[in-house]
Amino acid sequence: MKHRFTRNFFIVSIVHIVLIVGLMGYSMRSCKKCAKPVEFTNFIEFAVSEPVVRKEIVAPEPVKVEPVLPEPPKPEPKATVPEPEKKPPVREKKKIEVSKTLVTRDPIRKPPQISEEKIRQALNETVKPLPSVASQTPDFAWYYAMVHDQVYAVWQQPGALSRSAGITTRMLITVNRDGNVLSSRIVSPSGNDQMDQSVLKAVAQITKLPQLPQNMPGSTKEITIDFLLSD
């Protein structure tokens, strides 16, 4: 049985090979019949050549070259002499003249005890009521004399104004019933600033005066005092 199978397989293989070879031969014949030869076309151009015209070559005119003159040498810069620095003018120092005269001030003298008659005269000369103030009467002369003496005790008269004796500065002092100074101002200046400043300085040192008398009316009192510059 095995031999039979081998024989059949061999026969079938030969048949297939024959068929394949026949198909290949048939296809090659059919391709040769159908193929056409390829035609090649060559194009040839015929051109008429133009005559060659020869141009005359004209030689260029020679260019005139102007000679280049060398630049003249630059002058050397002149040496500048620096100006000397100006020194600032020296100012002459003014000599301060010192006065050799000694100014002597009068020592503060204790007020002498004054009688009632002298007190009245002093009040009439130095303590004068303002027109708007009415209570500085001789009835309270002793009180005004005390105020006058206390203020004059601290006033230092300017020694430089010894030649201006007689000038007067009038002050207005306001006190309360306890004698505390509420305010003070100049109501009539002397015309000399040094004199007025000495009076203001003296009054500024006083903050309290004697208490007002019990029978003196009002809660405050305005008192005018004339500061008279003496020799």
Return d(Cα 165, Cα 177) in angstroms, integer: 35
Using alpha carbons, select from 186, 175, 176 the residue that is nearest to residue 226. Answer: 186
Retrieve residue 203's tokens.
Answer: 């009054």
pLDDT, position 38:
53
Sites in the chain below the pLDDT cut of 50: 124, 126-135
pLDDT, position 130:
40
Residue 200 corresponds to which amino acid? Answer: L
pLDDT, position 27:
74
Residues 47-79: pLDDT tens digits?
555 555 566 666 667 666 676 667 777 777 666
pLDDT, position 132:
33
pLDDT, position 167:
87
pLDDT, position 73:
73
Beta strands in the chain (DSSP E): 168-176, 181-188, 220-228
pLDDT, position 100:
59
β-sheet bridge partners, residue 46: none
Four-residue CA torsion sign, 110, 114, 120, 122 = negative
The CATH code of the domain at 116-228 is 3.30.1150.10
Q: Backbone phi, then psi, for 15, in 5-degree steps?
A: -65, -45
pTM of the model: 0.41
pLDDT, position 109:
56
Return d(Cα 108, Cα 120) in angstroms, integer: 23
What residue spans define the domains of the chain? 116-228
